Amino acid sequence: MIDELEWRNAVNQMTDEAGLRDLVKEKKISLYCGVDPTGDSLHIGHLIPFMMLKRFQQAGHHPVIVIGGGTGAIGDPSGKKSERVLQTMTQVKHNEDALTGQMENLFGTENFKIVNNYDWLSKISLLDFLRDYGKLFNVNTMLGKEIVATRLEVGISYTEFTYQILQSIDFLTLYKEHDVQLQIGGADQWGNITSGTDLIHRQEGQEAKVYGLTIPLMLKADGTKFGKTAGGAVWLDPEKTTPYEFYQFWVNQDDRDVVKYLKYFTFLSKTEIAELAEKVKTEPEKREAQRRLAEEVTEFVHGKKAVEQAEHISKALFSGELTALTAEEIEQGFKDMPSVTIANEVRPLVTLLVDDTNIEPSRRQAREDIKNGAIYINGQRQQDLDFEVDPSTSFDGQFVIIRKGKKKYTLLRVKH
């Protein structure tokens, strides 16, 4: 298992490599990763540790997800130069429910558990917290943790400073109640994870078999952080990032990164990945590796039907054959295209191009472009100067698509 993870370049640090290797050889272990409900959707950056958890699940181990209803109410200092804005408990609860649904979608319901740290953290009184746990944490050691040290210049509140104690209590609780022996997290979580193993050893004895494993910070070939686009984060929630946009994100990956992502984000074998890596070298223009990456990750997150739909939209946009698309596919494929709302009434094409949409600057220019074959309505070239557009005849009466030239699309949303 560890060899497999290392081949996939998925290991940054381990607290005791030899001990962890022996443990996963001798038995199927329980392991966990946490996520705080700071938003109502995961993004692809969150997928990084959860792909690791999924690999353990497929090998027969027992993943546990901790939704941080307690820690999420506090806010962690990870990677931030300022304090998090505290959320209301109502917002935290809403986010918990949304993230739970996404986790169940990724992990199924077999051999998998979701717990909420609010269930145990909320029951600890201030005095118990200070007596039972505060006494076991040395402030000098806590200040030395990178996650805290990076904030000392600008300052850190006591609330966020204590986050590592709360996360350590999580690991201790899971060890005692669910026999969890391994915590997984991003590279920035090393300080919190080692605080957890230290706490367990102090309370349960040095012989307690608990381990931590972190994942490398994922950077693109150009040195920028993986997972961000010009439009912001790539979300797992299909309402925030449509499956088509999600698919396109992976299709558009750089040749220099695609093999790394195939190793990390897919369950393809070494042989399959080696074959795709060879094609990146010999036939990069075919982008076969990128397409396979997009298929695999989109199916994992959104299912097979979403992959088929994304490919259908891609082919239609590439060929210009739009009539085969459904209204739902139009919504996905044209989400970021310029759009205009029009009335649900038959309009002369020239009037539509000039008065209703400003696609053309003047009637003279509109007529000239129509005559020259530069205007397409719903994928069909239209050269009739007297043509009238009836919105009710296409895409369930919801949309009209006008293309000017080769690539300039405008989506007309029909108001009902």
What span, in angstroms and rounded, lies between the C-alpha atoms of 241 and 201?
Answer: 43
Q: Which residues are CB-contacts of 247 (< 8 A; sequence separation ≥ 6)? A: 294, 295, 298, 306, 307, 310, 311, 314
Residues 58 and 181 in one domain: yes
Q: At residue 211, does pLDDT exceed 80?
A: yes
Convert the pLDDT of each residue in 41-56 to its tens digit: 999 988 889 999 999 9
Sign (positive/negative) of CA torsion 259, 264, 266, 268? positive
Residues 153 and 30 in one domain: yes
Q: Which pLDDT band, with edges at 50, 70 and 90, does 154 fall under?
A: confident
Residues 396 and 300 in one domain: no
261 annotated as belonging to a binding site for a ligand: no
**What pLDDT is attached to residue 45?**
87
Of 222 and 400, which is predicted with more confidence?
400
228 annotated as belonging to a binding site for a ligand: yes
Residues 315 and 351 in one domain: no
**What pLDDT is attached to residue 119?**
95
Ramachandran quadrant class, 39 (left: phi over 0; alpha: psi -120 to 50; beta: rest):
beta
What span, in angstroms and rounded, lies between the C-alpha atoms of 158 and 172?
Answer: 22
Could you list the residue range(s) of the whole structural domain that residue 266 is in?
228-319
32 annotated as belonging to a binding site for a ligand: yes
Domain termination residue (choose one: 319, 348, 371): 319
Domain termination residue (choose one: 215, 238, 267): 215
What span, in angstroms and rounded, lies between the C-alpha atoms of 24 and 146?
Answer: 29
Residues 275 and 136 in one domain: no
- As annotated, the active-site residues are 38, 43, 46, 80, 84, 167, 188, 225, 228-229
Q: What is the mean pLDDT of the chain?
A: 90
The answer to whether residue 222 sits within a structural domain is no
Residue 298: which CATH number? 1.10.240.10
> How many domains is the chain partitioned into structurally?
3
**What pLDDT is attached to residue 34?**
93
**What pLDDT is attached to residue 308?**
93
The answer to whether residue 246 sits within a structural domain is yes
Q: At residue 104, does pLDDT exceed 80?
A: yes
163 annotated as belonging to a binding site for a ligand: yes
The answer to whether residue 249 sits within a structural domain is yes
The average pLDDT across 153-178 equals: 91
Q: At residue 136, does pLDDT exceed 60?
A: yes
**What pLDDT is attached to residue 367?**
94
Task: Tell me how long the chain is.
Answer: 416
The average pLDDT across 298-312 equals: 94
Q: Which long-range contacts (CB under 8 A, 24 or more apart) does 349-353 make?
A: 349/375, 349/377, 349/382, 349/384, 349/385, 349/387, 349/388, 349/389, 350/385, 352/389, 352/402, 352/412, 353/402
The answer to whether residue 137 sits within a structural domain is yes
Q: Which residues are CB-contacts of 147 (< 8 A; sequence separation ≥ 6)? A: 76, 77, 78, 164, 188, 189, 191, 192
Residues 117 and 160 in one domain: yes
- Residue of 387, 395, 356, 390 lying closest to 369 (CA atoms): 387
Residues 148 and 268 in one domain: no
Q: At residue 79, does pLDDT exceed 60?
A: no
